[in-house]
Structure 1
Amino acid sequence: MQNLFYALTFERTLDRYSQADTTEVDVTAKVDPAGRTAQLLSAFFGLDEGLPRIADWAVCDGAGGKDGMPVIFSHEVGLNTLEPGDFAIKRRSGKLGEVTCLTLAPADDPGELRTVLLAGQFGSESDPPVSVEITGDIISLDQSVTFKGAQVAVTPLEDGPSLVLAEKVPQGQWELGKAATGIPFGGGSGCPEGTAQVLRVTWEGGITKPDGNAADDQERKLYRVTIRQEDGSEETIAPMHLADTGDGDNNHKLCLDRTEPVKSIAFPAGGFTDPRGDLNPPTYIGVSQRLIDKQS
């Protein structure tokens, strides 16, 4: 009943449509106070005319039947600075793709506002998209940096998703004991009581088990977390719990009962698929360092 209520009362608030850059914030810095450069981490050509008709309701008007491409930023971004007209998608032929609309959903839990889902006509198998460039003023959520001029190569349609970011989660975003809404474009589950630290991992695109279900304890055991001991040695463990599941996005929280610093996170091939059914390759990512204490 709770899931039905959520579905019936769902309202889009994160979708945007302007084909012009309307941002008026005067930000020119490309490096934030912590030394992190504003950049695009990935652009994932996930679906070729494959967004379902329900995307008109859940994603943005006109998304159904279009191409889908999540673009991931190094920082969380400000919704009021995002427009489809900020993105230039170049095809192999040199022609530009068309971005009909965009949304920050479904990756909209606290700390996740860096995945922008684009819907439009970006290319085809014979003339695929090859790069994405930010041509407008997209500004980070904290207004410290602009992404104008940032660009990244597009991950091809036939490739499965890889990890693109791993970061320690501020304690204020742990959401201990929170239950997932249980439907796509809802909220993910939180870590359990007794958690000592939390890592967020971000994939190039939305992921599920190969059977279409959300990740569970089987996938928890597949995540490999390498921690540093006080004596400098390293140990590889599995998370004690896997959270932020059941909400249809590209993020998971790895809940640890250990306090040692985390060096890296790995995941083996074939554990997840993207919405097109492409299996993930073996993937590895170092943990991003940032000023956690100022964000707790």
Structure 2
Amino acid sequence: MKNWAFVIGIVTCALLTACNGDSDGTTVQDTGSAEDGSTTIDGGAESVHILSAFFGLDNGVPGLFFGCGFGLQDGMPIVLDRRIPLPALLDASVFVVHRASGAESPIGCATLAPADEAEERRTILLLGEFASDGDPPVGVEIVGTLLTDDGIDAKGALVETVVPLAAGPSIVLAEHYLISELPTGSTDECPADMDHIIKTTWEGGVSGPGGADLDESHRLGTTVEYASGEVRVATLLADAFDNDNHVEFCMSAPGEPVAITAGSGLYEDPNGDLNVLHTQVVIDAHELTP
């Protein structure tokens, strides 16, 4: 059953940002990540990669909110390894979803919202009709010009695995920032007296079970391993209440984080599916392409 409160939160936030243009057992999901759980980044290569495609909702997003007709639309976030500049509302014709039958599904709308803050903008929410009985989505391709922040054309980028509808969410990217490198101090931001931040990008939007806010169970149930062998939990969570696919873990003591593990059943996607226990390698944010 769809988590309607959470769905409406997502689309309302996306409407405000995209349409107004004002916003600046242990399992590892097979979403284009390396076998050790690390995201595959082609450092320095002049190309763009789709890190994951997540079939998040089947006929669960009101298309009217995005100018995509009156019916309910499928929702599929994709995560790139480079940032896409604003405006948040993108040309939907540059994307196509491949189905198991070989058919191609055009995209009704494409937007960076709600994950369109300055240090985000890697996640593109695709809306359309991507599946039918016995013919699920199996890939996403960028078939037209889509320029990144650093002017690289994403045309030709292809992911040949789509996380199925029934699967829960996983972390696809975990970046280590010094506290001075991200906004701090305001509501839902890490305090300025923290030492560093681990910014996680999930395959799709996440909340607590039943659409609840993230709370102490998520802070205590998500652990960070350091190069020293020490395992810690975050002092605070941030960027956790805006209905997008990012959660920041505010760490008070210095150290070199190497991996983050999300405990099973803590995080829920908009379709009501819970995550399984999984680990993602933490990378220095400066190792990523812009």
- Is the shorter-chain TM-score for this pair beyond 0.5, marking a shared fold? yes
SS of residue paired to 1:220: helix
2:47 and 2:221 map into 1 onto residues whose CA distance is 31
The residue that corresponds to 1:117 in the other structure is: 125
- Partner of residue 137 from structure 1, selected from 145, 149, 172: 145
Q: Which amino acid in 2 is paired with 1:43?
A: A
Larger Rg: 1
- Normalised TM-score (structure 2): 0.80
2:70 and 2:260 map into 1 onto residues whose CA distance is 34
Contact 1:61 1:101 in 2 (8 A): yes
RMSD of aligned alpha carbons? 2.7
Shift of residue 50, structure 1, vs aligned partner: 1.0
Contact 1:34 1:291 in 2 (8 A): no
Stretch deviating more after TM superposition (167-176 or 116-125): 167-176
Report the number of matched residues: 256
The residue that corresponds to 2:69 in the other structure is: 62
The residue that corresponds to 2:56 in the other structure is: 46
Contact 1:90 1:96 in 2 (8 A): yes
The residue that corresponds to 1:228 in the other structure is: 227
The residue that corresponds to 2:246 in the other structure is: 251
Shift of residue 14, structure 1, vs aligned partner: 5.2
Gaps of 5+ in 1: 1-5, 16-30, 180-188
1:108 and 1:75 map into 2 onto residues whose CA distance is 13
Q: Any runs of at least 4 consecutive aligned residues in structure 1 with deviations exceeding 4 A, and if so which?
A: 31-37, 170-173
- Partner of residue 114 from structure 2, selected from 93, 102, 106: 106
The residue that corresponds to 1:26 in the other structure is: none
Q: Which amino acid in 2 is paired with 1:207?
A: V
The residue that corresponds to 1:207 in the other structure is: 206
The residue that corresponds to 1:291 in the other structure is: 286
Please say if 1:146 is aligned against 2:146. no
Contact 1:88 1:135 in 2 (8 A): yes
- Normalised TM-score (structure 1): 0.78
Gaps of 5+ in 2: 1-11, 23-40
Shift of residue 151, structure 1, vs aligned partner: 1.1
Q: Which amino acid in 1 is paired with 2:77?
A: P
Shift of residue 142, structure 1, vs aligned partner: 2.5
Q: Which amino acid in 2 is paired with 1:48?
A: D
91 and 63 in structure 1: CA distance in 2 versus 1, 3 angstrom threshold: farther
1:247 and 1:132 map into 2 onto residues whose CA distance is 26
2:70 and 2:232 map into 1 onto residues whose CA distance is 41
1:259 and 1:47 map into 2 onto residues whose CA distance is 39
1:33 and 1:93 map into 2 onto residues whose CA distance is 34
Contact 2:137 2:162 in 1 (8 A): yes
Larger relative contact order (Cα-Cα within 8 Å, sequence gap ≥ 6): 2
119 and 246 in structure 1: CA distance in 2 versus 1, 3 angstrom threshold: same
1:37 and 1:286 map into 2 onto residues whose CA distance is 22
Contact 2:90 2:112 in 1 (8 A): no
Contact 1:62 1:101 in 2 (8 A): no
1:171 and 1:219 map into 2 onto residues whose CA distance is 21
Identity of aligned residues (%): 36
- Partner of residue 128 from structure 1, selected from 136, 140, 160: 136
